[in-house]
Amino acid sequence: MSSTEPKPQRADARRNRERIVEAARDVFAEAGLQAQMDDVARVACVGVGTVYRHFPTKAALLGELMATKFRQHAEVARRWAAQTDDGWDAFEGFLRETFAAMARDATLQQRMNWTQDGDAVARAEAERQILSGVVGELIERAQAQGRMRPTFAVQDVPALMCAVGAVMAARESAPIDADRFVEFVIDGLRA
């Protein structure tokens, strides 16, 4: 290991970081952007100094929440890409699984406007680019096989996710059939 490489975290430090991120999801889902680092520390059962040691600012913590979400979505896309040669089936599987995860996370979606904090968004950019690359490959496969609309592009995915996320979040306060909306979205992308 060279002196420029970061030292691996101790096991207890990794566990604390994971607990902080999980607690932050819950705290931000409940309080939105008004959530405080003290609240995260309390829910994670760590000192506030431990939270700040891992995440020196609220933007850093929000960025990690976003990056974690992007990593999880990328893993779903990779898994679907590996388990089927059919590009459309892989993309549809990715969408359905991702939309189901978004439905479970609807309260967090409803409370957060991720784009308000440019620093948080910038901190998650590398993971977003990785996700975009993996999903872009699924789209290209589906289009090459003639199963997806040729005009759909990976640049359209964030708008698609935001639209579905907004519907998922709104169904708690409005009589919206989110599952029906998802079917419309998926049908609209087929060739």
Domain residues for 52? 1-56
Whether 35 and 84 map to the same domain: the answer is no
The secondary structure of residue 160, as a DSSP letter, is: H
The secondary structure of residue 32, as a DSSP letter, is: G
Whole-angstrom distance, CA of residue 109 vs CA of residue 52: 24
Whether 3 and 94 map to the same domain: the answer is no
End position of a domain, from candidates 33, 56, 79: 56
Whether 44 and 94 map to the same domain: the answer is no
Contacts of 178 (CB under 8 A, 6+ apart): 103, 164, 167, 168, 171
pLDDT at 12: 84
Q: How many domains does the chain have?
A: 2
Whole-angstrom distance, CA of residue 162 vs CA of residue 155: 12
Whether 102 and 160 map to the same domain: the answer is yes
More confident residue, 121 or 50: 50
Q: SS in 3 state form for 36-103?
A: CHHHHHHHHCCCHHHHHHHCCCHHHHHHHHHHHHHHHHHHHHHHHHHHCCCHHHHHHHHHHHHHHHHH
pLDDT at 185: 94
pLDDT at 143: 98
Whether 183 and 137 map to the same domain: the answer is yes
Whether 86 and 118 map to the same domain: the answer is yes
Residue pair 41/51 in contact (Cβ under 8 Å)? The answer is yes
The CATH code of the domain that includes 26 is: 1.10.10.60
Whole-angstrom distance, CA of residue 189 vs CA of residue 92: 9
Q: For the segment 171-185, what is each residue's pLDDT rounded down to a tens digit?
A: 666 767 788 889 999
More confident residue, 143 or 9: 143
The CATH code of the domain that includes 117 is: 1.10.357
